[in-house]
Amino acid sequence: MRRIVTLKKNYEFAKVFNKGSFYVGRHIIVYVLPNKQSFNRLGISVSKKAGKAVIRNKKKRLIREVYRIYENCIYNGYDIVIAARGEEDVPKYTSLLKEFKYLIKKVKVFDQEKYNCLKSV
């Protein structure tokens, strides 16, 4: 299993938020910025408006798992920040999965050929 490389510093998040392209969904917002490297870096942002620590951590775990499912189908060389929208309820896993796929297609980092190959296996 590959380890997910994460964004850790505030200036890394700020750079993706300010200069990256984004698309808004019902439960999440996906920000994408090319990083000139051969791998993707992931950042997850959940504000305190989303609820108490237990709820925020559950949302982070869900988002990380959804990213892991589609990680092989995303083009390499991008910084990706997924921000949860500020609502109290935790979204269903299947709805989050569909929404993430829709958003990465909209931001144009989804590799449909890899997805079809992985799906047929």
Structure tokens at 94: 């299947």
Q: What are phi and psi of 82, to 5 degrees?
A: -110, 120
Residue range 66-118, pLDDT digits in tens? 999 999 899 999 999 999 987 778 889 999 999 999 999 999 998 888 777 76
| Mean predicted confidence (pLDDT) in 1-7 | 80
| Mean predicted confidence (pLDDT) in 29-46 | 94
Q: What pLDDT score was predicted for residue 120?
A: 60
Q: What pLDDT score was predicted for residue 89?
A: 84
Statement: residue 119 has pLDDT above 90:
no
Top CATH class of 10-111 equals alpha beta
121 CB neighbour count, 10 Å cutoff: 4
Please classify residue 24 by burial: count the beta carbons closer than 10 Å to its beta carbon, then call 0-12 exposed, 13-18 middle and 19+ buried: exposed
The model's confidence at residue 1, banded by pLDDT at 50, 70 and 90, is: low
Residues in CB range of 22: below 8 A, 6 or more apart: 29, 30, 31, 32, 107
The model's confidence at residue 51, banded by pLDDT at 50, 70 and 90, is: confident
Structure tokens at 59: 């949302």
Global pTM value: 0.90
